Amino acid sequence: MTSDPYNAQTPAAALVPRLTPADALFVRSHFDVPDLPADRWRLRIDGAVGTPYSIGYDELTALPHREVDVVMECAGNGRTRMTPPAPGLAWGERAVGCARFAGVPFQSLVERAGLDPATVEFVFTGADSGMAHGRPTTFARSLPRALALHPDTLLVTRLDGAPLTPAHGAPVRLVVPGRFAVADVKWLTGARAVTDPFEGVFQTEEYVYVDSAGRPEGPVGELLVKSLITAPEPDEDLRRGQETEVRGHAWSGGGVAVRRVEVRAVHEDEPDEPETGWQDAELDRPSGPYAWTDWSFRWTPRTPGRYRILARATDAEGAVQPTRAPWNARGYGCNAVAVADVVVV
């Protein structure tokens, strides 16, 4: 989508499997990729701790690792479906993927530093920097203390069984399952415990929900319940009277499971009544609490013409994909029902 800095969506074909291939997973960069070889990498842990220290790559990779399958989604994914249009990268529905990450729980490194009980957040800083809002800025985001110390918040060194690539944050990145990917700071070099909320550019000025009056409503956080249709492909020609398998994935935030996916197909000559015609899809068991859930639905079209296939997910806490996502000025968190347009001949 852009080359300077490099940003690219996941190819449609790579979204079909349960796990997205590492070399196809979408990339979101704000600045140039820093030159950060593993043998020069160090992470500094400081701030409100008793014993600040730093750790190198070899020492980190020698520690026990956890492996988790995680849905990684840009907060701007689906922005092009916002009406009216919102500024920002014109992501379609493919700034997302589900990948297998391996890393060291950040919690284990904090224990060594001795945390001040007054700590409220951790500020994670990357090695990438540039101009933002007219001033030099280093990329940094904060996490609440409890989330930063969750055993599944990882300092990741491997993706899909292989070392991270530079585009995906090598040598070490943060991965926070269940949150929008802006939390997953790449090229991680700093972790600072703080006793007051962080107010950096990417925490309070960028990646915040903003209403129509320009009022900020807080930073983006947990993923929202959402589904994706991977088959049939858009504008695919289907046969009347021939069974078609509609397939896709569904996910939600914070490790909340998907409870239900419903599908409906609307013919071009039929009235579109959003609350009628929904039928339950079959759900597969996800590969972990942060992975997406594969779903499928068998549909036999009886009338030729154009159809719009829609899918909506419901999670275990009762959150349901809306017909139309609430608008916000930055186009974040668009989780409107999934759509695929096909032709039956």
**pLDDT, tens digit, for every residue of 181-220?**
999 999 999 999 999 999 999 999 999 999 888 888 889 9
**pLDDT, tens digit, for every residue of 209-220?**
998 888 888 899
Name the pLDDT band for 261 (thresholds 50, 70, 90).
very high
Name the pLDDT band for 161 (thresholds 50, 70, 90).
very high
Per residue, the 3-state secondary structure of the chain, as one string, reads: CEECCEEECCCHHHHCCCCCCHHHCCECCCCCCCCCCHHHCEEEEEECECCCEEEEHHHHHCCCCEEEEEEEECCCCCHHHCCCCCCCCCCCCCCEEEEEEEEEEHHHHHHHHCECCCCCEEEEEEEEEEEECCEEEEEEEEEEHHHHCCCCCEEEEEECCEECCHHHCCCCEEECCCECHHHCCCCEEEEEEECCCCCCHHHHHCCEEECCCCCEEEECCECCCEEEEEECCCCCEECCCCCEEEEEEEECCCCCCEEEEEEEEEECCCCCCCCCCCEECEECCCCCCCCCEEEEEEECCCCCEEEEEEEEEEECCCCECCCCCCCCCCCCCCCCCEEEEEEEC
The pTM score is: 0.96
What's the average model confidence in pLDDT over 261-287? 92
Considering only 12-16, 79-83, 314-318, which range has the smallest mean pLDDT? 79-83
High-pLDDT (> 70) share of the chain, %: 100
**pLDDT, tens digit, for every residue of 56-105?**
999 999 999 999 999 999 999 999 999 888 999 999 999 999 999 999 99
Pick the residue with more confidence: 85 or 296? 296
